Amino acid sequence: QVQLQESGPGLVKPSETLSLTCTVSGGSVSSGSYYWSWIRQPPGKGLQWIGYMYYSGSTNYNPSLKSRVTISIDTSKNQFSLKLSSVTAADTAMYYCVRGYFTKWFDPWGQGTLVTVSS
Amino acid sequence: NFMLTQPHSVSESPGKTVTISCTRSSGSIASNYVQWYRQRPGSSPTIVIYEDNQRPSGVPGRFSGSIDSSSNSASLTISGLKTEDEADYYCQSYDSSDHFVFGTGTKVTVL
C-alpha cells in the first residue's frame, strides 16, 4: 500500500523560499501510471491545488502560483519536492503531498505538514 | 477558470439521508469528472467518490455520486447517516488544461 510522508521546515520567514519533500513508500515515483501533486489548505479554509509532476519531467502548476512554484522528482530517493518562493503570510497552510490518477483524482494523501510564514 | 460552489453546511439525524450539491460556475459539469473527498477533523482528505459516481473499495454503498447537467451540478448523497460521517466534504474537478479546482467545502453535522 502506497504511503506518502511530507517533511520540511515548519517555519519560514517572509520573502524566503518554502521547501518541502515527500517520501513515497510502497510504490515508485517512476511509475508511469500516476502523477505526483502538492495541495495546500490554509488553517480553517478549503483546499487549493498547487501543481503536479509526472516522472518524465512534465509539470503543470496552478496559474495563480505558477511564477513562484517548482516541483521536482528524485527517482533515486523515491521522493518529490515542492519549492515556493517569495512566501508571505498568505502561504501559511497545511501542505499535502498526494498521488494523482490520470482520471483526475487524488489518493492517497500524506498526513500533511503545517508551514507557517512568520518573521 | 471556473469555481465549484457547495453549501456551507448541512445537518441531519442519524439514519437519514443528506445530499450535498456542487455547482460549476462555467463550463459543463459533465465535461470533466467530479470527485468527492471526506476530511474528518484533524485528518487528511480521503476519496469517497471518483469519476462522478464510482466508489473506491472500502467506501460503503451508502455513499453515491451523480451529475445533473440541467443544474450544472454534481451531488454527493449519504444515506443511512452515521455519526462517523460527520466531516467536511469537498468536490473536485478540473479544466481542459488539467488545472484542478476544489469546491468550497461542506460541513456535515449528524444531529
DSSP per-residue letters across A67-115:
GGEEEEEETTTTEEEEEE-S--GGG-EEEEEEEEETTS-EEEE---EEE
Residue A52 has pLDDT above 90, yes or no: yes
CB contacts < 8 A, A to B, total 58
Task: Tell me the CA distances in angstroms from A2 to A16, A25, A71, B34, one per residue in order.
Answer: 32, 6, 20, 23
Identity of residue B96: S
Question: What pLDDT, on the 0 to 100 scale, is given for residue A19?
Answer: 98
For B44, the closest of A46, A96, A101 (CB atoms) is A96
The torsion defined by the Cα of A106, A111, A117 and B1, in degrees rounded to 10, comes to 10
Nearest CB to A48 within list B93, B97, B102: B102
Return mean pLDDT, chain A: 96
Q: Mean pLDDT, to the nearest integer, of B51-70?
A: 97
Examine the pLDDT at B23 and tell me if it is beyond 90.
yes
A63 to chain B, closest Cα gap in Å = 8
Distance CA A94, CA B35 (A): 21
Chain B positions touching chain A (beta carbons under 8 Å) = 1, 32-33, 35, 37, 44-47, 50-51, 56, 90, 92-94, 97-105
